[in-house]
Structure 1
């Protein structure tokens, strides 16, 4: 396993940036191990709800984790607001970096990830194959 440390800058869309990095580096299988930083806006999809919640204000990224490949990302994140309230869920496009996002990605060179429709869940789910 190799690691790839990243820093996203103010104005970057967290999800879109990670997906663009995966495509540009042709990452066949990777995991976001952790991320910290801050956001000026967040869009999180909560469990059992189809549409993401739009949150605005200053937020700290407490945790960021998920899978990443050229097929896209499946990311979960917890954030806190200025009052210490914590929100968490599935990361949607529109999570905008405020000052920085420092992210550690693990590259799994012996595997390939794809997203394929799962009849049981009705969603495109992770399929792991040896490379």
Structure 2
């Protein structure tokens, strides 16, 4: 049984039965939702950025630090697998960046969606040199 607050909004009382969760309905989280969360999380790792676009295996343009990383995800119930394609800034440790990226993706996806990430594959396709300010002759 529920009661109503002073504004007439229903509130749960202590006699509510939380074990009837299955009767409330189901929640399905699409692959694309996991891809968006993981893509954003991947680019929040220092040294990682969205990889440059590729055409026929050739990089077109530069790494895109302000974009989401290219991510593919597959959700099966409450478990997901993720594949991220990124660029790692030169001269950072690829192994370290990949490890931190895996941890960040797992944490963010779990915290925001409740879906457990079982596996994160990281594909590093570019090592862009850090941009330095152009030199001026005085």
TM-score (norm 1): 0.28
Q: Greater helix share, 1 or 2?
A: 2
- Structure (1 or 2) with the larger CA radius of gyration: 2
Comparing both chains, which one has the higher relative contact order based on Cα–Cα distances under 8 Å and sequence gaps of 6 or more? Answer: 1
Q: Greater strand share, 1 or 2?
A: 1
TM-score (norm 2): 0.27
